Structure 1
Amino acid sequence: MLRGALASLPLLVAVAAERPASGVPAALGAMLAGINDRPGGRRAAVARLGAPALAGGAGLLFGSLLAAAAGPGRSLLLLPLVFGVLGLAAGAVSSTGPVASACGTQVLVAAVIGAGMPSSDPGPVRALLFLAGAGWLLLIRLVLPSPGRRGTGPFRLDGEREAVAAVYEAVARLLLAAGGPGALGARSALSAALDRAQDALSGPWLRRHASSAAERRLRARYAAAFPLAEAATALAWAGVPLPDRVVEGPRRLADAVRAGGPCGALPAPARTDAGLRALDDALLGAAAVFDRPSGVIRRPHRTPGHISLPAGAVSAAGREYGLRVAVCCAASTFVAQWLHHTHWYWLPATTVFLVKPDLGPLASRVLCRAAGTVAGAAVFAVLVLLPAGGVLPAGAVVLCGALLPVATRHFAVQTAVVTVLVLSLVVLGGEPSATWGRVVESLLACATVLLVGHLPLPGRRGHRVRAALDAAVAAAHRYLGHVLDAPGDGTGRGELRRDAYRSLAAARTAIEVSAAELPAVARHSAGAEGVACAVERLVDTTTACAVQLDHRSAQLPASHAERLAAQLSDLDRARAAARLAVPAG
């Protein structure tokens, strides 16, 4: 929230210099970067905020040049055609990952704004101002220390340390939940914590020589959590309750990560079975890593990277999403040009945000958008009645910038805050207030997206769910094959386990979004939940088998082998019942 408020400083400088219109592009850049600003590591924020900002700056420049080429009149052919083609490309790219999704959205939104929003500044200047606003937010994201920080390490690693500490806390919760009804949810929470830590540590290296030892130490502590996660998963799979004493070790490790110091002595579990022996060995290994002097920190083993979906499946999902973005953007641009509204660019810019599938189910986000826009417009209509002059819009921008990080937790609240912010920027840009015009444009955009989102486009629907399930099933088979063929390769096994659980989480997210759609869309992913459940059981059992093979000289126990064979059969039956073309890997 503090960063969001400070992000409006370039706009306030422009207002103080009596050039508020020049501050509007900077405020737009800061606003879009603020939407992408999330809790986590500073290094990961460089790509998460910087790449979309560069894409937005390029889009704003392109839109400005396009407006100059199209002229001041209506364009019922050129602009819809260009934005449709751009939407097709941006939508296809957006399906490859969250950063790519933000890049595709910002380049398209900024291009529409550049073509429609009047400005006295030339296109290159507007693009530079946009980048300055986003760059200012990124700068304060990197240099401001986290509030309430603990420990003596470099503050720039606070987000990474908290993410790694959360992994050890999640291990403790999973051990505590073993043998109870919450074990499955605790295992999913552990997988999510590992994903967040992996993302936090995946950013570019900053100040490589100044604090490389601290970075290597943190990566080593993150790698030390993998064997603990494996042992905890195997113990939870066994379904036997564990004594409370076993959670003390992971919790002390979490405290040591946050404080940046050693962990000291850890309570050891009884080595009565393979799972507890694996847990004890993992605690011993972690203690050795945590208590190693800083001067002899060795480079940790390579941590797993992100998942790559099968190229063919991704292209199908990208084509489906890109085609819908193209139709939405082209149709809304045509309607806006035909109506000849002063703020015509609002309509296609709104459809770009609404059509994004990673913001939730289509019907839900349309309703949230409509409600949020009406609420935000009503608030702004009250604000403009106050006798505060030009100070009020600038103050509203500062307040909305501070509220934006909290508002992103719910799409309707985010829409309300962004509506007030955008209407304030319109006034600061020298244009007349258009409170209810904003409501009309948003409702038209909602109707457009709702219609296009349910059009029977060529080809089979549900590519996004099938692509995610393709990756989950293939990753599960790779993991199982490696465990059975090379049981002693702990490093390779850990990477494949991370890929399996991460792809499973991505598949579940896609399934949940699809299942919450209207029946016309939801029916295309019928049966997908059964496949995901079968994959989850298979991956958990594979982890338990890996622990058994790691701590036994004999072959896999018959009970484990039988359960593994049964779950492979369950997966085949689930795939057949769902009638999804999921490769076996």
Structure 2
Amino acid sequence: MPTPPFPATRFPPWLAHVLRAQRGPVPWSAVLRGALAAVPLLLSVLAERPTAGVPVALGAMLAGINDRPGSRRASVARLGLPALAGSAGLLCGSVVAETVGDGRSLVVVPLVFGLLGLGAGAISSTGPVASACGTQVLVAVVIGAGMPLPEPGPVRALLFLAGAGWLLLLRLVLPSPGGRRSGPYALDGEREAVAAVYEAVAGLLLAAGSPGARAGRTALSATLDQAQDALSGPRLRRRAGSAAERRLHARYAAALPLAEAATALAWAGVTLPVRFSEGPRRLAAAVRSGVPCGPLPAPAGTDAGLRALDDALLRAAAVFDRPARVPPGERPGRPGTSVLRRAWSAAGLEYGLRVAVSCAASTVLAQWLHHEHWYWLPATTVFLVKPDLGPLASRVVCRAVGTVAGAAVFGVLGVLSSGPSALVATVALCGALLPVATRHFALQTAVVTVLVLSLVLLGGEPAASWARVVESLLACGTVLLTGHLPLPGRRGHGVRAALDTAVGAAHRYLGHVLDAPEDKALGGALRRDAYRSLAKARTAIDLSAAELPPVSRHSAGSEGVAGALEQLIDTTTACAVELGHRAAGLPAAHAEVLAAHLSELDRARAVPVG
């Protein structure tokens, strides 16, 4: 999780975000994949066709940016779908260049880029994979229209797809560090995700009754989301992996009642003995190692929460001893609305319109200045306008600093060595650094700048380190202007839409708990949807709050709605546990707290957001 190296209170929110960087162990497997991604480029240089290796390296680079920790099955969509979008974009850009002549036109090219930006931006607002697809299609269209390569458009598109496909193949084939622990290594990401859920349950039980209970519940919700994503991808091997997959699905399903019981106990605010967390920890170790979990210490069932925990541990132990096929309805899914409906919502259109304006304006500026590398400016703008990379002011500062640093490093490397072999080695080094560099946007920008400048030379274009700096600074100014431009409609649609989605999910969960508490499978799915929607709303609120004041003020009051919503969902979970472990109806104390949280949510929503 991002942690500020300095106390955030000393700086304004947008500047504090610049100083944050993600921390964690070095992903050595991703580092290895990034270095090996340069192999096709090396082969093209050895075959004396370096320009053919440029689209391959571009495809591998963009896939490397999306190569994040997670399961192999999730990487199929996370890397593959954006690669297909980028390949189509490269082909489209090549057609544009052939139509208007070298991709230069003050009217046609900006208009095409603007229309594509509107659609791609709207689609990008629907989720992380869609965001990567929208970004790659726009970047590839711009590169296809402006980068002079001798290969025809269809060949470029296939080469781009081959580069991304090579990295995806490495992701699927190479084992993770630490060797094979249990079961097929193809499922090691899924095993770790399910084990992390049991660890988070243990952490929440330890934190119950302390100020860290809220953070423990948030961490548990995040690990459940990650496990849900890890297990929701396509099957990699239908025959050989089926038994292992069923086992993991069953163990994930067994963790859901444990998570519900732990949430209810944390909501009660009672400190629990340390031994209560031992059972989930043993289950986590059993998931990772494949050995039996052994006897689990169970709590005395003195109230509904402890009885629920005891029952959940017993059921989990049975599942671990005798893995069975997962009952229908317990497989992790992701309830949600139609992608197209979300794309053309007010939030989607707001973002799409800003992408369109930014892309068209930067293209007009680049064409008017008649720079040789004019396509750099709109391509940089596409990356800068993405809100999932942080607040706008933070992105601009990081981009400027990272570009200057990258250009300086490339200049030094050019003095020390030259020639195609040195450029290929530089690309391989940048590919290896990219998985670590993605933890901070400025560092990622510096690495990408060195990589792109190397590819420019391999593509036969003249060196242009400081031209890259100028283009990036112009893109920063363009995005900073368009990002604060008063376009039609209200600002902050993304925050309001996320909160409305979370409120709807919470009410569906509450209604089910009160009307049909015996349906545990549907209740579990609705609970996951409620917590997941709440997490997305908080992410949108935090992002908006870290913008400059002209933008951040549009989300004022949203934190109060999110806080009331969190209390309501936690209380609903506690009520579900009570109704599931008693013959009578809901206790009066729970009903009173539930009514109070509903009233608090109504009062918070009555205050207009922004």
If the length of structure 2 is used for normalisation, what is the TM-score?
Answer: 0.93
CA contact (8 A) 1:216 1:300 kept: no
Which secondary structure does the structure 2 equivalent of 1:224 belong to? helix
Displacement of 1:300 in angstroms is 6.2
Letter in 1 for 2:45: V
Gaps of 5+ in 2: 1-30
> Separation in 2 of the partners of 1:567 and 1:298?
35
Q: What residue is the counterpart of 1:324 in the other structure?
A: 354
Q: What residue is the counterpart of 2:9 in the other structure?
A: none
Letter in 1 for 2:224: L
Cα deviation, 1:61-109, whole Å, max 9, x if unaligned, reads: 0101110111137310110010000101101111111111111110010
Map residues 116-515 of structure 1 onto 2, 5 A cutoff.
Answer: 116-292=146-322, 297=325, 301-309=329-337, 311=341, 315-515=345-545
Displacement of 1:306 in angstroms is 2.2
Which secondary structure does the structure 2 equivalent of 1:480 belong to? helix
Letter in 2 for 1:318: G
Displacement of 1:341 in angstroms is 0.6
> Separation in 2 of the partners of 1:300 and 1:484?
22
Letter in 1 for 2:171: R
Displacement of 1:298 in angstroms is 5.1
Cα deviation, 1:296-344, whole Å, max 9, x if unaligned, reads: 5455643342242584796111110110000000000011001111111
CA contact (8 A) 1:175 1:236 kept: yes
Letter in 2 for 1:346: W
Which secondary structure does the structure 2 equivalent of 1:531 belong to? helix
> Separation in 1 of the partners of 2:102 and 2:508?
58
Letter in 2 for 1:393: L
Cα deviation, 1:155-207, whole Å, max 9, x if unaligned, reads: 00000000010000000000000000000000000000000001111111121
> Separation in 1 of the partners of 2:103 and 2:272?
73
> Separation in 2 of the partners of 1:73 and 1:539?
53
> Cα distance 1:73–1:127, how it changes in 2: closer, same or farther (>3 A)?
closer
CA contact (8 A) 1:304 1:498 kept: no
Q: What residue is the counterpart of 1:96 in the other structure?
A: 126
Displacement of 1:150 in angstroms is 5.0
CA contact (8 A) 2:343 2:349 kept: no
Deviates more, 1:429-438 or 1:302-311: 302-311
> Separation in 1 of the partners of 2:472 and 2:92?
24
> Cα distance 1:160–1:92, how it changes in 2: closer, same or farther (>3 A)?
same
> Cα distance 1:476–1:170, how it changes in 2: closer, same or farther (>3 A)?
same
Displacement of 1:579 in angstroms is 4.5
Is residue 2:74 matched to residue 1:54? no
Cα deviation, 1:118-169, whole Å, max 9, x if unaligned, reads: 0110000000000000000000100111111452300000000000100000
Letter in 1 for 2:223: A
Which secondary structure does the structure 1 equivalent of 2:301 belong to? coil
Which secondary structure does the structure 2 equivalent of 1:578 belong to? coil
Is residue 2:142 matched to residue 1:108? no
> Separation in 1 of the partners of 2:77 and 2:376?
27
Map residues 511-522 of structure 1 onto 2, 5 A cutoff.
Answer: 511-522=541-552
CA contact (8 A) 1:76 1:337 kept: yes
> Cα distance 1:415–1:517, how it changes in 2: closer, same or farther (>3 A)?
same
> Separation in 1 of the partners of 2:451 and 2:527?
44
Displacement of 1:392 in angstroms is 1.7
> Separation in 1 of the partners of 2:388 and 2:344?
15
CA contact (8 A) 1:304 1:499 kept: no
> Separation in 2 of the partners of 1:510 and 1:118?
39
> Separation in 2 of the partners of 1:336 and 1:91?
21
Q: What residue is the counterpart of 1:583 in the other structure?
A: none
Displacement of 1:479 in angstroms is 0.5
Is residue 2:49 matched to residue 1:19? yes
> Cα distance 1:143–1:73, how it changes in 2: closer, same or farther (>3 A)?
closer
**How many percent of aligned residue pairs carry the same amino acid?**
77
> Separation in 1 of the partners of 2:548 and 2:137?
29
Is residue 2:116 matched to residue 1:86? yes
If the length of structure 1 is used for normalisation, what is the TM-score?
Answer: 0.97
CA contact (8 A) 2:103 2:145 kept: no
CA contact (8 A) 2:378 2:475 kept: yes
> Separation in 2 of the partners of 1:407 and 1:461?
32
Which secondary structure does the structure 2 equivalent of 1:52 belong to? helix
Displacement of 1:261 in angstroms is 3.1
> Separation in 1 of the partners of 2:590 and 2:312?
22
Displacement of 1:264 in angstroms is 1.7
> Cα distance 1:363–1:73, how it changes in 2: closer, same or farther (>3 A)?
closer
Cα deviation, 1:454-490, whole Å, max 9, x if unaligned, reads: 0000011111001100110000000001000011111
Gaps of 5+ in 1: 581-585
- CA-based RMSD: 1.3
Which secondary structure does the structure 1 equivalent of 2:68 belong to? coil
> Cα distance 1:111–1:203, how it changes in 2: closer, same or farther (>3 A)?
same
> Separation in 2 of the partners of 1:499 and 1:528?
20
CA contact (8 A) 2:124 2:343 kept: no
Q: What residue is the counterpart of 2:40 in the other structure?
A: 10
Q: What residue is the counterpart of 2:8 in the other structure?
A: none
Q: What residue is the counterpart of 2:11 in the other structure?
A: none
Cα deviation, 1:5-24, whole Å, max 9, x if unaligned, reads: 11111101011111111100
Deviates more, 1:528-537 or 1:554-563: 554-563
Letter in 2 for 1:106: Q
Q: What residue is the counterpart of 1:531 in the other structure?
A: 561
Deviates more, 1:67-76 or 1:493-502: 67-76
CA contact (8 A) 1:269 1:279 kept: yes
